[in-house]
Amino acid sequence: MPALTEWKVPPAFQPRPEDYRFDLDRALASVVGLHSIIPSDAFSAETLGTERAGNGVLIDDGLVLTIGYLITEAESVWLHLGDGRVVEGHALGLDFESGFGLVQALGRLDVDPLPIGSSAATRIGDNVIVGGAGGRTRSVASQIAAKQEFAGYWEYLLDESIFTYPSHPNWGGTGLISNTGELIGIGSLQLEREKGGKAEHVNMVVPIDLLKPVLTDLRKFGRVNKPARPWLGMYTTEIDDRVVVVGIAGKGPAARAELKTGDVILAVAGETVTSQTEFYRKLWSLGSAGVDVPLTVYHEGVTFDVTLTSIDRAKLLKAPRLH
């Protein structure tokens, strides 16, 4: 495959060492390229693909933090270093609530870990760096454009995520680095927003503070040691104050209940929902994975009630291959 770092960020958007009071190149050396291979029969292969590439950040001796979708069900993981070396890694853990993933390097990286900072201490307008594998030429000098709630169609919700502008074109697993040289988040998505009548791209970043309560569990168990949230296998979006189903995950509870794309979720356990955030919070308030979830659904002029038995989504995923 081609090297993960052949492309370059336009020079006008690259960070300049003289703008920072820390060793920029040393900090960016902690960001590595990540390439994973997923079996073709994996549950996530259809939606996320069987070959995924992005970034990760070294946060401890051999421990690389990335965004979870890059390593979900990975049978092999490779870490690409700035000096051209490639080191095999092991998909160590996933946290579905935050979206973080952990990789353990299986060889020496010879790179200094990036110190972990505080995402809560950041402010809108702060100058930051969205660091990609390959140093300055693959990183973006950016600013925090917003800090706000984010709901994802895949049954995902962050109370406060970080949005940065300008965006990084290879955002997955990038390291959000503060103006003091600390890691304050991991890149997850690129989204479009309207500003001044024009569309512009921003990155959505998972705040690093969400890692601190779960890091020990992820290292020891590969997941957070608490009951999993109930999962329905339903992709939704919010349209005109309605929660609309835009996709159904195969083998999930929604598929077994024969829900369809275009269905509208009107209520959860008799309580009306008009937004994704309401839908998720009421769903998760019913209990842990396995709980029955009563839904009121509108389908082509007909309103009906249906009860789905939720599951732990991890049960559908292939476990990491042991080395």
Residue type for 153, please?
Answer: Y
Which secondary-structure segment (H or E) carries 94? strand 86-94
Q: What is the pLDDT along the chain (323 residues), one digit of tens a residue?
A: 344 447 899 999 999 999 999 999 999 999 999 999 999 999 999 999 999 999 999 999 999 999 999 999 999 999 999 999 999 999 999 999 999 999 999 999 999 999 999 999 999 999 999 999 999 999 999 999 999 999 999 999 999 999 999 999 999 999 999 999 999 999 999 999 888 888 899 999 999 999 999 999 999 999 999 999 999 999 999 999 999 999 999 989 999 999 999 999 999 999 999 999 999 999 999 999 999 999 999 999 999 999 999 999 999 998 876 55
Beta bridge mates, 183: 116, 177
Please tell me the pTM assigned to this model: 0.95
How crowded is residue 251: how many other Cβ atoms within 10 Å of its Cβ? 12
CATH number, residue 239? 2.30.42.10
Residues 293 and 161 in one domain: no
Cα separation, 250 vs 289, in Å, equals: 18
Backbone φ and ψ for 229, nearest 5 degrees, come out as: -65, 150
Residues 75 and 215 in one domain: yes
Is residue 323 one of the residues assigned to a domain? no
| pLDDT score recorded for residue 179 | 95
Residues spanned by the domain of 197: 1-226
Residues 22 and 120 in one domain: yes
Beta bridge mates, 138: none
Radius of gyration, CA atoms only, the chain:
20
Length of the chain in terms of residues written? 323
Residues 37 and 144 in one domain: yes
| pLDDT score recorded for residue 321 | 64
Q: Which of 226, 248, 263 is at the close of a domain?
A: 226
Q: Which of 226, 261, 277 is at the close of a domain?
A: 226
Residues 165 and 251 in one domain: no
| pLDDT score recorded for residue 198 | 87
Residues 129 and 242 in one domain: no
Residues 214 and 252 in one domain: no
Residues 256 and 115 in one domain: no
Structural domain count of the chain:
2
Residues 238 and 213 in one domain: no
Residues 27 and 168 in one domain: yes
| pLDDT score recorded for residue 3 | 45
Q: Which of 176, 194, 226 is at the close of a domain?
A: 226
Cα separation, 44 vs 99, in Å, equals: 14
Residues 74 and 221 in one domain: yes
Residues 218 and 242 in one domain: no
Which 8-state DSSP code applies to residue 322?
P
Is residue 322 one of the residues assigned to a domain? no
Cα separation, 191 vs 128, in Å, equals: 18
DSSP string spanning 115-146?
PB--STT--TT-EEEEE-TTSGGG-EEEEEEE
